[in-house]
Amino acid sequence: MTTRRYWGLLLLLVFAVSARAQLPLSKAGLEGSTQSPSLDALADHPQWRALLHYGRAKAGYERKSYVDDPAFFLSVNGRRDARAELQATVEQLQNQATLRCQFIARFRWLQQQGALDSELPAACDGYRQWRGTINAGAVALVFAASYLNSPSSMYGHTFLRVDPQGYRAESALLSYAVNYAAVVPDNDSSLLFAWRGMSGGYPGHFSLQPYVDKLQEYSRLENRDVWEYELNLNAAEIDRLMAHLWELQSINFDYYFMDENCSFRLLELLEVARPGLTLTAEFPVHAIPVDTVRAVREAGLVDEVVYRPSRQRELDALVAPLDAAQRQWVLTLAREPAQNLVPAFQRKSVDEQRTLLLGAYRLLRYQHNRQQRSPDVAGRSFALLRAINHLPPDAGQSATPVRPTEPDAGHATALAGLALGRFDERDYREVSLRLTYHDLLDPVAGYPRNASLNMLQATLRQVDGE
């Protein structure tokens, strides 16, 4: 071999080694590639930004995370620097098994992208037991209708329902509710509540509780209709969502009633579950629950909508066909269940008897649903149920409440208006803006009847001669 060929081969070998040194170390690739990206590419990836809660914006992403708790970050600059958080996460998860369990969604994703050794174990008995208890097989977005008696619920409330494998809609006993809410001290005054709620003065965090408890709270105690929007998340997406929920245990956010509220937080969870969603970008100023439900549906996430009427609607549907005399019987039986034994009542058909007894039972439960049941009320309820059970089970009319318009099918909550008119013999031009919510002149479909709630409304009028 000549000297020239020797040096040529040597240079070629050095170039090849140098070029390989510039490649990422892992063989696992991003989005199906055979090579993993650099830290810069991973730091800008939508899934990493979603895991850190760098919300979507019209021109990319927010400049900082919505998470206010330093315990959520492994870098001191993690809240404002996604790359610094990525580098700290890779370094610390590589060596600390406890952190791999604490941040299991991050760990799994970084392994998939090749930023962490694919052979690293993720032994996390606590997470495995937690997932086994929940046995998540499906997820629904739940909307509890507006409740004007509570300032924090005037616009409605959203949360997630996590169903076990083999869930059936007629049984919610094994489902869990994923709820995000503000932690409000009992002794806060109304004025202080409003101020702190608007200024982020309350911490907010996620909680998990039996779904039947939420149904008891909303449809029974507060007489609110409940709408269940069943989501078409697949198994991998549900797994990402649940892993990220595990990461958010005991993590606090600053709660803002108008924007960073229950509904906005759920949009962030869905962006983690299904990478590429841009739900949060649609709510840069305020997030009204019904608007976020509409955004989720427009994003193609909803398969079916299930309606659960409140106790009040069930009672109204039952007594609506009754005449005045029959309604009087309902009132009488609710006060004195033994009246079902008098001859005048016994002469009625079994169908009518069952309808009146059921109406009395539901009325009694409705009247006392927010109070601790006394022995007297419990005794009357039991007597009515016993009288109902003595009748044939197929007797009586089936009173199903009429399904109202779905909340997301109603009008948009924001309104801009332009008006021309004449007042006091002078012409005027008027521009108005209402950010929320509904007034008596709006179409009522999808909203509570005979209710009006307007906030952040302004009108500018120019009058000739002024």
Same structural domain, 187 and 328: no
Q: What is the pTM of this model?
A: 0.82
Same structural domain, 170 and 277: yes
Asked if 93 and 100 count as a contact pair (C-beta separation under 8 A), the reply is yes
Q: How far is CA 352 from CA 281, 357, 359, 399, in A?
A: 55, 9, 10, 13
Same structural domain, 295 and 182: yes
Would you state the pLDDT for residue 84? Answer: 95
Would you state the pLDDT for residue 232? Answer: 96
* Domain end (from 98, 123, 148): 123
* Domain end (from 337, 354, 389): 389
Structural domain span for residue 342? 311-389
- The verdict on residue 116 lying in a domain is yes
Same structural domain, 133 and 228: yes
* Domain end (from 97, 123, 149): 123
Same structural domain, 221 and 298: yes
Same structural domain, 317 and 302: no
- The verdict on residue 245 lying in a domain is yes
Walking along the chain (466 residues) 10 residues at a time, the average pLDDT comes out as 40 37 36 59 92 84 89 95 95 92 95 90 89 92 79 78 77 86 84 84 91 83 87 96 95 89 93 92 85 94 92 88 93 93 92 91 84 83 92 74 84 81 83 76 75 76 79
Same structural domain, 105 and 161: no
List the one residue out of 167, 162, 144 whose CA is nearest residue 407: 144
Asked if 392 and 350 count as a contact pair (C-beta separation under 8 A), the reply is yes
**What is the domain count for the chain?**
4
- The verdict on residue 400 lying in a domain is no
Same structural domain, 118 and 134: no
Would you state the pLDDT for residue 2? Answer: 42
Same structural domain, 240 and 164: yes
Same structural domain, 304 and 364: no
- The verdict on residue 16 lying in a domain is no
Would you state the pLDDT for residue 170? Answer: 56
Same structural domain, 427 and 383: no
Would you state the pLDDT for residue 348? Answer: 92
- The verdict on residue 338 lying in a domain is yes
Same structural domain, 359 and 290: no
